[in-house]
């Protein structure tokens, strides 16, 4: 229970990878603030029903006001912040389409949530990290950042930016003992993805064919990597991206 008594914020934590991470951290003794654009309170209630410490906060990560309120809620409820998991992102609702057919408004929204959201959330918690003498930021990127997958150019670009932002933040924030790393999952069969038949039809089979471990990736497959970067065993690791995709890409 090396994470016991720690306090974590998980963005996009109400479902899929985010809820799997929230559940795993809670099981390790972490007090969890689940943030999401919807259903955050219901997700936190599920954890509390199992005896864990959790609250839910409705947050649009592209809003400076919301992200500041997110940090304030964590401090008010639990007394501080030790860990930020930047998981919120737009993916499962996207329809694969050629580069030239992507709506510029959709491109802007993907970049606002997937990249600026990380900037705003990280900035919002930094003051608490300084007060507490350090902290951990774990950004959720994607294996597509390294493979350049087709028909999702805005998503691929946003996740490539997450990798670069992770490195820049690690360089700047190391002086405050804030470690910044990234986990990059492969195509994951989450609840949101399963609701998008066009996405599943276009991505699932190629993903399975490209993996050494030829099975579906599930949200639970990522939680160990997040816990590692959140815990003491990674205390001298920062600026890194760990790809968790069943051996589809070696980085």
Nearest 5°: CA angle at 58, between 52 and 63? 135
Of the candidates 199, 177, 178, 198, the residue with the CA atom closest to the CA atom of residue 188: 199
Of the candidates 175, 177, 92, the residue with the CA atom closest to the CA atom of residue 129: 177
Catalogue the E-assigned strands of the chain: 7-11, 31-36, 54-58, 83-86, 135-140, 178-185, 241-244
Q: Which of 91, 155, 176, 249 is catalytic?
A: 155
155 annotated active-site: yes
User: What CA–CA distances, in Å, run from 218 to 40, 189, 192, 248, 251?
Assistant: 21, 5, 12, 15, 21
Return phi, psi of residue 143, to 5°.
-60, -20
C-alpha 98: how far from chain center: 26
Q: CA-based Rg of the chain, rounded to a whole angstrom?
A: 17
**Active site positions, annotated:** 155
């Amino acid at each position: 229970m090396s994470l016991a008594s720690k306090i974590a914020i998980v963005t996009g934590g109400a479902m899929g990878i985010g809820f799997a991470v929230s559940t795993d951290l809670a099981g390790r003794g972490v007090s969890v603030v689940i943030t999401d654009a919807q259903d955050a309170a219901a997700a936190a209630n599920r954890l509390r029903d199992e005896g864990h410490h959790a609250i839910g906060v409705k947050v649009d990560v592209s809003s400076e006001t919301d992200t500041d309120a997110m940090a304030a809620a964590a401090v008010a409820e639990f007394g501080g912040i030790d860990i930020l998991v930047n998981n919120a992102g737009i993916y499962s609702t996207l329809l694969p389409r050629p580069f030239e057919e992507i709506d510029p408004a959709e491109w802007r929204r993907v970049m606002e949530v997937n990249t600026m959201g990380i900037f705003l959330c990280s900035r919002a918690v930094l003051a608490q990290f300084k007060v507490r003498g350090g902290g951990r930021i774990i950004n959720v990127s994607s294996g597509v950042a390294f493979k350049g997958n087709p028909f999702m150019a805005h998503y691929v670009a946003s996740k490539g930016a997450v990798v670069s932002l992770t490195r820049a933040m690690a360089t700047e924030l190391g002086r405050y003992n804030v470690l910044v790393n990234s986990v990059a999952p492969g195509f994951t069969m989450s609840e949101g993805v399963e609701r998008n038949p066009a996405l599943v039809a276009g991505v699932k089979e190629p993903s399975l064919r490209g993996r050494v471990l030829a099975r579906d990736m599930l949200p639970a497959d990522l939680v160990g990597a997040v816990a590692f970067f959140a815990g003491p065993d990674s205390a001298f690791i920062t600026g890194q991206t760990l790809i968790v995709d069943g051996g589809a890409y070696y980085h």
